[in-house]
Structure 1
Amino acid sequence: MKKKWLFFLLMIAALLSGCNRNAPINEHSQGVWDHYFVYPMSKLLLTLGHLFSGNYGLAIIALTLIIRFCLLPLMLRQFKTAVAMQKLRPEMQKLQEKYKGTDVETQRKLQQEMMMLYQKHGVNPMSGCLPALIQMPIFMALYYAIRRTEEIKLHSFLWVQLGHRDPYFILPVLAAVTTFISMRLSPSMSEQQMSQMAIMSYIMPVMIFMGASSVPSALSLYWVVGGCFSIIQSLILRTQLKSAKIAENGQAS
């Protein structure tokens, strides 16, 4: 979980660092990044915009939902991995007690035992990072596609111009609030992990607010819609997890 949010912090830092590549994007744009990432994203947004009669705000909402639904299988896998890791926690703690030493050899044996435990139960602890890794280039491509596509950059949606920051900071606030709620509702964390993540659950929304306040409103809109999707997803998963625990307790009794 901490690694996941670290990726988002790095992503925000990359955006805030800025980039001077403001030339309009088109099919003739050179370079791997422009030709295979930014231009396809720009083309997709323009296509969705045409489907919504030139409303690029709705196009960004639709794109966000498409991305999140495409990532849903990975998110479900991440959830199952986190639940499996919780069940393995007692065995992991026993191994940590067994190999308390800080010397290299003891730590190597601990890692070997941990890997054997993961393999035995079919758990891959690194799978939780995959959704965040995939979203990073998507988000960055979306950022530059908006900045370098005039039709989107100059389009007005609700009270904002998509290519400019929200003058009233409404979207950044909503992005921060939805991030906070989605983190607190995360069904894949134990009570111990929740206490450990308490500080991060306050720091991360602040970082999201700062990032959303410094990028085009279209990106803030992407954050808000993605946050709402995460909240609904977490509520559904929490319900399923609660039902599974009730069924498990019923079988045990």
Structure 2
Amino acid sequence: MAVVLLSGCAPTDVKYEIDPENAGWWDKLLVLPLSGLLDGFKNILGNFGLSILVVTFLVRLAVFPLTWKQQKSAEAMKQIQPQMVKIREKYKNNPQKMQEETMKLFQKEGVNPMAGCLPMLVQLPILFAFYQAIMYNPHIRTSEFLWLELGKADPYFILPILAAVTTYIQLIATGSADNPQMKVMLWVMPVMIFVLAYQFPAALSLYWVYSNIFTILQYLIFFRKKKDKLAEGAAR
């Protein structure tokens, strides 16, 4: 979701590359190293399609501790949702009392509602830098992978469809469908992703598909097991 918001603010027809000698601190610190990784793995693996796969994995691995913290916060908020609903119903005519009781609940359960936002904010620069590393790399723009010209949108709509489907699966896998406030996004996000992927160069759509798949696997391997253990403990 973060990448979509950032990508929507950036141009999709970038035709220049970053000059290392005149680059700013942002490009030197993040964008150029990531671009160099993409070039390096391309030389090893033979194409940028696989290079984007490997670097996407490395980026997701780097931000995994933040993702873990964010998911734990989301699970904690989900656990206390029934109590929050009762508080809202009980004090619906007294907003101040409602806020006081809600804060007491957070303190009692050791939940910080902002804990889920901070990791996302920290991830944004890394993900945006990777987006720029793909956009500004002239080698990627002129490369091919499978049926794709990585510098142009997928003419057969296969990647946009994959991006939309994996986004939907990701929202289901991470439990967004269980949150009433997120149910609208369950349908809006895949459509939005399809529209963006239809317009973006294939390299970016490919990154989005890879990233979705890694997110789904992370949740199924790590978060789902943790959730099942918590459920077993509660049942005992």
The alignment status of 1:248 with 2:201, answered yes or no, reads no
Which one is further off, 214-223 or 125-134?
Answer: 125-134
- Please provide the CA RMSD for this pair: 2.6
Structure 2 partner of 1:120 = 108
TM-score by length of 2: 0.85
TM-score by length of 1: 0.80
* CA drift at 1:109: 4.6
Structure 1 partner of 2:20 = 27
| 193, 211, 214: which one aligns with 1:208 | 193
Which one is further off, 133-142 or 171-180?
Answer: 133-142
| 64, 68, 75: which one aligns with 1:76 | 68
Task: Write the distance in 1 (CA, Å) between the matches of 2:182 and 2:177.
Answer: 10
Change beyond 3 A, Cα 1:92–1:75: same
Q: What CA deviation, in whole Å up to 9, does each residue of 1:146-176 have, x standing for no partner?
A: 2322222212111112222112121111111
Matches within 5 A, 1:3-22: 5=1, 7-15=2-10, 18=11, 22=15
Structure 1: stretches of 5+ with no match in the other structure: none
Task: Write the distance in 2 (CA, Å) between the matches of 1:116 and 1:140.
Answer: 37
For residue 27 of structure 1, what is the amino acid of its counterpart?
Answer: P
Structure 2: stretches of 5+ with no match in the other structure: none
- Whether contact under 8 Å (1:29, 1:35) holds in the other structure is no
- Whether contact under 8 Å (1:12, 1:208) holds in the other structure is no
For residue 10 of structure 1, what is the amino acid of its counterpart?
Answer: L
* SS across alignment from 1:183: helix
The alignment status of 1:89 with 2:84, answered yes or no, reads no
Matches within 5 A, 1:1-253: 5=1, 7-15=2-10, 18=11, 22-52=15-45, 54-101=46-93, 106-187=94-175, 189=176, 191=178, 193=179, 195-236=180-221, 237-249=223-235, 251=236
Change beyond 3 A, Cα 1:190–1:19: closer
Task: Write the distance in 1 (CA, Å) between the matches of 2:111 and 2:177.
Answer: 17
Task: Write the distance in 2 (CA, Å) between the matches of 1:151 and 1:20.
Answer: 15
- Whether contact under 8 Å (2:3, 2:127) holds in the other structure is no
Task: Write the distance in 1 (CA, Å) between the matches of 2:140 and 2:164.
Answer: 24
Q: What CA deviation, in whole Å up to 9, does each residue of 1:6-40 have, x standing for no partner?
A: x455224213xx27763321321333443333222
Consecutive aligned runs of 4 or more in structure 1 exceeding 6 Å deviation: none
For residue 109 of structure 2, what is the amino acid of its counterpart?
Answer: H
